Structure 1
Amino acid sequence: MLSRVNAAERYPQCLCLAPTFELALQIGRVIEKMGQFCVNIKVTYAVQGNRVPPGTMLEEQIVIGTPGTVLDWCFKRRMLNLKKISVFVLDEADIMIDTQGFSSQSIRIQRVLPKDCQMLLFSATFKKAVWKFATQLISNPIVIKLRQEELALSTIRQYYFVCESRVEKYRALCNIYGSITIGQAIIFCQTRKMAEWLSLEMTEDGHRVAMLTAELTVQQRADVIQRFRDGKEKVLVTTNVCARGIDVKQVTIVVNFNLPANLKKQPDFETYLHRIGRTGRFGKKGIAFNMVESRNLYLVRMIEEHFQTEIKRLDPEDMDELEKIDA
């Protein structure tokens, strides 16, 4: 986007959509950092909570936002003229295309864009249905594929514990903290209720814990992420709202307190890859721990088969074995 902008023109020329508030802010910060020496190129955020006075016509050349707010700015408030957009980007494109609400919003925006507008779709994972839809959305596409699974999994050691209850899972988690040197950790729960319970337990045991779920306000979510980036809390307990795109260099461990599964009780492979991919980034090694009940061991086996990788079983009570992981 920075390479496409004409800095002399004071109107939006590039539009990037992301599925979450947190990811939109992260993208924008990267653009601001990369573009700090690009004179007169500005970024604005079309996200909930960014209050722009009525009648404002945007002068920033790059707009980063979430679909709902961008739609509001374009069609209701008429602050953003899509006919002048020359680059349109969908980040986490598989979610943007395959999720009902995001899909309809993204298509509505795309249909108004000029025919010569460049479209860019980015994601670490693409289902076949998404590939098919993407090729319909973009005429004569140039496709660049990387073996993301191999790249991601090669830097992450994966383990699992068999735990029959949330209490056993929590005890295993405490043993991890008692045996392994941890920078920062992200712990994924399947539900907000479980995340709240776990956050309370860890806080009462003296851990510096932040919790992030979709129910928080925009400002609360922004504050939580920033405090975690600044290292003020060492543990982030979250749901899938943080599974994609969020980069924090100090994260050395990811814990799946609950393995991601769909309504058919099959593994959600894409979410699993995105979750554990929060560690092992920036050329560093990472560790992923999975907590699983014996009745759900088939999920581990299916994940191993899907990614052609090994997930090693550990005894959560074997402190000697846990200590070897840090070596």
Structure 2
Amino acid sequence: MSEDSWAVAVDVQEATNPSTQVSLKVTNVSKSHIKHGLTNLLIVQKTENGDSKREAEKVDLAEQSLLNKLIRRSLVRNRNQVEVLQRDPTSPLYSVKTFEELRLKPELLKGVYNLGFNRPSRIQENALPMMLAQPPQNLIAQSQSGTGKTAAFSLAMLSHVNPDNKWTQCLCIAPTYELALQIGQVIEQMGALCPDVKLAYGIRGNRLERGVKLQEQIVIGTPGTVLDWCTKYKLIDPKKITMFVLDEADVMIATQGHRDQSIRIHRQLTKDCQMLLFSATFEDSVWRFAEQVVPDPNIIRLKREEETLDTIKQFYVLCREKEDKFTALCNLYGSLTIAQAMIFCHTRKMAAWLTANLTKEGHQVALLSGEMTVEQRAAVIDRFRNGKEKVLVTTNVCSRGIDVEQVSLVVNFDLPVDMDGNADNETYLHRIGRTGRFGRRGFAVNMVDSKHSMDVINQIEMHFNRRITKLDTSNLEEMENLIS
């Protein structure tokens, strides 16, 4: 990106609701394969080469991405600003406020509305004109789950293909089987009124005859299988691919082998092929990867929002053991008017113990922990968001991506620490940031059960330059004065 490139910032406030009820019209993979894939494979979680042990170590990012896709019932409200860096700084910056402005084919416009979009989300406002531009433009975009990016690049692929050409023209790769199916579902529904546009799934278990070129114009798959289809089995002619979409780049490069496979696929494409890369995060490793596969890109990224603690009151409570922590928690819950609460534990064992004891006390409690399948976790989060349970007990592994506006209390039953036992400030900020959302007032209470725990509290105070107030939960009058 040249120094002449310029940026524009637009405020993001999402509102519309893309439906998650998707009917499948499946090509080149059986319907039962799709139907059972999301349940069976969420439990197995094996890599394409069958190495389940290695996947267990690397699966967190992919699982989190899939969980976010499953729980998003509406576009997320994102307070970040979007920064647009154009390849050609002299070109006018185009954005759209309606899908009609994109001059889509009538059947695609109906498909967009059938998905539940009433107007473009902010990421779509800026990304779609670039993706649909002639001549084609390359794009690197930072976009989290729930911002409408899958629908955006699905629409771009459906608009791009020529139905009269019976060969693969658009290729999209994602890091896991399940994420590929999620993308395919969106394309199937959006393209339901385009019967001449066909979709194939390049995923494990979908075996096709060698040497017979695919006639499907769009292929969605995982890197290993797609690479085999392009090289070993010659099912796809890479030179005829005119749009290449690489989704979940941050997950991709964290997964064994996927980064190299993606680069090998990219090397077989022509220089004129349009490249679209999407990632939820833009760390250095993602940038280095993006630079290898996307020449002369336009860039859309989220401006980092300064996390604010202004609306969150922070406290600590001195305890001796877990039973003391539990008593303090019950006292706290009895004296606060709490809409909903999230409680963080360090281990699954502690989370299970706490859940059982809170349930005995008559509280409506949901438990979220790592041994649950992604579908089970999504169901728990839905119940909590809908108010079926008032308390959510969770471990770190499941905490990210949960935005519930009515959470007014966060409790660190166990303080967040890194591998060396020092304060994990990033995790602390993420945890307590579950409350005080959207300008509402929230409370964060930390349970301190040792000198080491007190040292961690002191580290957190120094890092954020914020005092954390001592709270005596057995003194009702003091509590009322402090938290009022």
TM-score of the pair, normalised by structure 2: 0.51
Partner of 1:23: 68
Matched, 1:232 2:388: yes
CA shift digits 1:270-307 (9 cap, x unpaired): 11111111111122121111111231211011111112
In 1: Cα distance, 2:222 partner to 2:176 partner: 13
Partner of 1:256: 412
Query: Which residue type is aligned with residue 279 of structure 1?
Result: T
Judged with a 3 Å threshold, the aligned counterparts in structure 2 of structure 1 residues 184 and 110 are, in CA distance, closer, same or farther, namely farther
Shift of 1:193: 0.0
Partner of 2:457: 300
Q: 273, 288, 294: which is aligned to 1:136?
A: 288
Judged with a 3 Å threshold, the aligned counterparts in structure 2 of structure 1 residues 267 and 56 are, in CA distance, closer, same or farther, namely closer
**C-alpha contact (below 8 Å) 1:229/1:248 kept by paired residues:** yes
- How many residues are matched? 290
Partner of 2:7: none
CA shift digits 1:115-145 (9 cap, x unpaired): 853445445xxxxxx8443442343877754
Partner of 1:148: 306
Matched, 1:193 2:349: yes
Matched, 1:205 2:365: no
Matched, 1:246 2:389: no
Shift of 1:239: 0.3
2:444 counterpart SS class: strand
Q: Map of 1:5-24 to 2, 5 A cutoff? A: 19-24=64-69
2:357 counterpart SS class: helix
Query: Which residue type is aligned with residue 241 of structure 1?
Result: V
Q: 112, 117, 131: which is aligned to 2:275?
A: 117
Judged with a 3 Å threshold, the aligned counterparts in structure 2 of structure 1 residues 71 and 154 are, in CA distance, closer, same or farther, namely farther
Q: 440, 443, 447: which is aligned to 1:287?
A: 443
CA shift digits 1:222-255 (9 cap, x unpaired): 2211111111110000101332121111111111
**C-alpha contact (below 8 Å) 2:351/2:367 kept by paired residues:** yes
Judged with a 3 Å threshold, the aligned counterparts in structure 2 of structure 1 residues 204 and 58 are, in CA distance, closer, same or farther, namely same
Partner of 1:216: 372
Shift of 1:110: 5.3
Judged with a 3 Å threshold, the aligned counterparts in structure 2 of structure 1 residues 47 and 187 are, in CA distance, closer, same or farther, namely farther
**C-alpha contact (below 8 Å) 1:20/1:241 kept by paired residues:** no
Judged with a 3 Å threshold, the aligned counterparts in structure 2 of structure 1 residues 46 and 106 are, in CA distance, closer, same or farther, namely closer
Matched, 1:59 2:217: no
**C-alpha contact (below 8 Å) 2:71/2:378 kept by paired residues:** no
In 2: Cα distance, 1:135 partner to 1:265 partner: 31
In 2: Cα distance, 1:243 partner to 1:105 partner: 27
**C-alpha contact (below 8 Å) 1:187/1:256 kept by paired residues:** yes
Partner of 2:319: 163
2:446 counterpart SS class: strand
2:438 counterpart SS class: coil
Greater gyration radius: 2
1:206 counterpart SS class: coil
In 1: Cα distance, 2:186 partner to 2:405 partner: 37
2:313 counterpart SS class: strand
Matched, 1:274 2:438: no
1:265 counterpart SS class: coil
Q: Give structure 1 stretches of 5+ with no counterpart.
A: 3-9, 63-69, 124-129
Matched, 1:74 2:201: no
CA shift digits 1:38-97 (9 cap, x unpaired): 69x985999887996xx99963679xxxxxxx9854246659x9964446455xx6xx59
Partner of 2:340: 184
Partner of 2:118: 37
In 1: Cα distance, 2:355 partner to 2:325 partner: 13
CA shift digits 1:188-222 (9 cap, x unpaired): 00000000000000000100001010111333222
1:323 counterpart SS class: helix
Judged with a 3 Å threshold, the aligned counterparts in structure 2 of structure 1 residues 246 and 300 are, in CA distance, closer, same or farther, namely same
